[in-house]
Structure 1
Amino acid sequence: MDGASVRERANDLPREPGVYQFRDDDATLYVGKAVDLRDRVRSYADPRSRRIERMVERSVEIEPAVTETETQALLLEANLIKRHQPRYNVRLKDDKSYPLVQLTDHEFPRIEITRDPDPGATAFGPYTERGRVETVVKALRETYGVRGCSDHKFAGRDRPCLDHDIGLCTAPCTGEISRDGYVADVESVEGFLEGSTGVLADPLRREMDRATEEQNFERAANCRDKLEVVESFHDGGGAAVASAADERWIDVLGAVIEGDRATVARLHSEDGQLVERDRHTLSVPDDDTDGIGGVLAAFIVQYYAERSLPDALLLPERFSDDELDAWLDSEAVAVRVPGAGREATLVELALKNARRGRGRADGTAALADALDLESASRIEGFDVSHAQGRAAVGSDVTFLDGDPEKTDYRRKKLDDENDDYANMRALVAWRARRAVEGRDERPEPDLLLIDGGEGQLNAARDALATVGWDVPAIGLAKAEERVVTADGSFEWPDDAPERHLLQRVRDEAHRFAVQYHQTVRDEVSTVLDDVPGIGPQTRRRLLRRFGSVDGVRAASTEELQTVTGVGEETATTLRARL
């Protein structure tokens, strides 16, 4: 595209808030937000930097999306950046997107909260707080009875399900409501999501008044709470203006850039006390000219769009982003760049944390180099745990840029089998099938780490080949800390950052598997269930104290009485039964 083409395309755009994408034939190159789409896109006819000029030259089309508010444009921009990973945007690598509400295009449409709308669905949002969205969707279903069930659950029913019994669905699956009546209810729901607050607020207010007249004050209070959420749903929640004295929650950000990678450290303070520290990695275009300010702006949009904003943000330098300024101002967030005093000291501490965070990234880079991988940023670690084949489970933990990504941890019960290789094969096959069939919402990993040596790795590789999931896998044997690959095994120096990274992943997978195994083991049915006086909690205590039913059987009456809840009579009965 040249400047004339950009101006011509801009003339067709509305003067409304929204998001625009510059695209080439294959992918999105850049995503931006605008208060006025026409003016913002027109500004690209005269690019302000060589980087933007190259981006415009590579583009073949500009794809706009109009939003109702500037805040929605901000959130949609963050969603699209994380979905498409555009080359010319600064990208936060937390793999999260923001909730939308969709009405599917079925004959009897379904309403649901999603981060990835179905083809053909009508989507509304994105929204900042999932909790508020859940409250509103539930209130819509209680009022209009729109279904939320899966297609499998909907098809072939002879009687309504529990959702109908508790007033969440009018049961179109069994003809309890006509299609015309159901579609009319769906149109009412759509009207609310498009901005007609009264469609839901009015029925809630009537229900609240009725409950009050009946002196059912608990139900009235519940309706009042829902009504507050519903009435503020389309105006950003009605943020109150906070003065400096009201700043209870403060976040301090520090950022450093090294090549195409930036690290942002966040310190969270509540009532003057530091209570949380974390670090985040962002990808930065090679020739980015916006510097630290641009990194901070990108981080704030992509991180806080899904989380509660603090009362104040302390930064090492100011960003230049008018839309972001307007959003933070509308949410009553004070933004300061302190020059001296305690706040400046906190900013310096955040910068030190950001610089220290680079060591973790170095571990992923060193690992990628050692294994000849394009990247080792996202690693999934696998381990299995069982007690001689009983209560067999598997763990699947995720590390992103050297840190645990606990929201992406998964675990699975396995068939009881006293065979570590078979258990590992089943675990990895389960993960691979979910990936190949598109049933796992997590991004594909750069590397799989198997807890074990050649036998476990071969079992995992066999599962990958059988399912057809092409992801590199290696093993880490505990005894000698040897790295096992398809081409052989080798040792790395004790102080090698790539070795330390693999050990952290392996140890976390082991911890998570053992923890789940203990939970499952304590939940399985045992002969202890038939002993009078032994309830579920006492059974768990006995198993934890003695390790197994055989251990309980071998214990003396006196030893049994050391367990809380087991008295002399129960201990005697227990020994007699066992």
Structure 2
Amino acid sequence: MSRASRDRPLQLPRGAGAVADAASSSHRFDFDARVASAPKRPGVYLMRDRQGQVVYVGKAIDLRARLNQYRLQQDTRFFVHLLEDVLGEIEVIVTQTDKEALLLENELVKRHQPRFNVLLKDDKNFIHLRLATEHDFPRLEIVRSPKDDGARYYGPYASASAARSTLREVNRHFQLRTCSDTVFRNRQRPCLEHQIDRCSAPCVLPDSQQSYVEDLADVHLFLSGRGTELIDEIQLRMRRASERQDYESAARLRDQWRAIKRSLEGQHVKLLDSRRDMDAIALYRQGARSTIALAQVRQGALVGVQGFALRDQEFPSTEVLSGFLVRHYDGGAEIPDELLIEHRLEEADVLATWLTEIRNARRAIKRSVRLHTPQRGDRAKVLALAQRNAKQVFRERLGASAAEAETLQALGSYLAMSKLPRRIECYDVSNIQGTDPVASMVVFVDGAPLKSAYRSFRIRSKDTPDDFAMMYETLVRRLERIDQPGWERPDLIIVDGGPPQLRMAVAAMDDLAIHGIEVAGLAKARSLSKERGRTPERLWSPGAIEPLVLDQNSKVVFLLARMRDEAHRFAISHHRKRRRGRTLQSALDQIEGVGPARRRALLREFGSVRALSRASVDRVAAVPGVGPKLAQRICDVLQVGEQVTG
């Protein structure tokens, strides 16, 4: 029995047999003996170090020939020259075909996470939209990772904001329910969503069941990128309704057709004349650091580009791409009709067969998947677009200094962001019993403060304590200036506070139809009691039931705390300045003998009340219309006020 079989159950493809031996010596691994005992069959091999840890998993059409390449050091990859000193044993598993070897290798890599394999670390961030099939009236919901449960999954979406934006589009154009199953079962009359034409109310209106089935089909076309088919289908229904003189339904379908058409035109860029779905996958690398860009083209239109960053991958580019394809599409990503790859892969036929089987198992329409490397024409232009994006992803994610990039990468990973949060804005509100309320905006770029971009806001709408309304006003005023000179678009907005403040931020973005910016709330630690200690720093994301509790000693927490403290310091500083100015101005108005004319003369001479409060009696007396006695009175009052408010 192999070591894998002893340690844990291993499910092999049908017809696969396991052959395992251990070859080790006290010092250097004996490749000669291991090669001699290896079978000339397709299969998978696991390399273990002397502590029994799996360090590499590979596949081969001929296991003996492949291991012999290691023995002769014909393989030039970075870790091969270390193997004789590191290896404790090589375990082989024989399979019937090379396709079975590909599948088994993928399973073993996911299980063991070997340090020398190509690992797609970003796949944990993939977010999908799930449409359940077990319910007669399913709803669309956001899930972290797809399961083999018969439901329809759409995506992946590389950021939570992108998934939420798509969900809002669906809710706007189609009348699917948004309530939970419990609410749906207990509903006795239509809700507000039905009143505003956002739901057909299948919970209480039986006549709406057929229209719900049509809406489900439309949502499937919309989320699958088949916008042309959707537009044609709605037009056909509109004509049929008009022919049977159901003009009310025809008008509703017309409005829906126009809205969806505008939405699709605004979102998608037409690249080529083709109704086939395709993904263009390109790799950009500098040594062991590399990035992959995946451009999704549906029916000739570009619908999105995803980026992936890989480190410590000193493998040939073909192996990096092959590993990416297996890990990415096996993780639940939608498989298109064509894959455009910039390098010809040795195992392209095996990958195409495997992807075709997975795709046909997921879809009702059976089609084969094609992998090819275009050299000219429109498809080559699509691939070139992916190559440019791969280079841009590298610049954004791996171009910053190593420590800062690692911290920002971790923060983006916690929030499921599709790109590195290079520009982060943090907001705080300051007031004392509602007086002189102000808000601050501090900006961090690549983990460092950019003080020239700091901004402060005087709250206009509230004179009574209402931090939530003040936060909403601040963000609306800031977001109204989005992309204006000096007001660059941030990658991430952080508000000081928990769910209430976060809801204000989301409301401000929704009201202004701002998309593509991630938002989070940072709730600070607070003391509970001597026995219970302090609560940890918590990070809230929109829609979350529970906060994300971070490692309190991590670099991410230190960065977030630094931004929050800086926002608080800047807000307090501006609040004190405003309160001091108001106090001094009021004091000047109340000084006996200082009327409007003398006040104007004093301010014209000194520029501000604060400068006047620091002037000498002789200099104040020199102002026309102000004598020594009045000057003494002015200085006495203002200098006392300066000491109190300072």
Instruction: State the TM bucket, normalised to the shorter chain.
Output: 0.3 to 0.5
| TM-score normalised by L of structure 1 | 0.41
| TM-score normalised by L of structure 2 | 0.37
Structure with higher Rg: it is 2
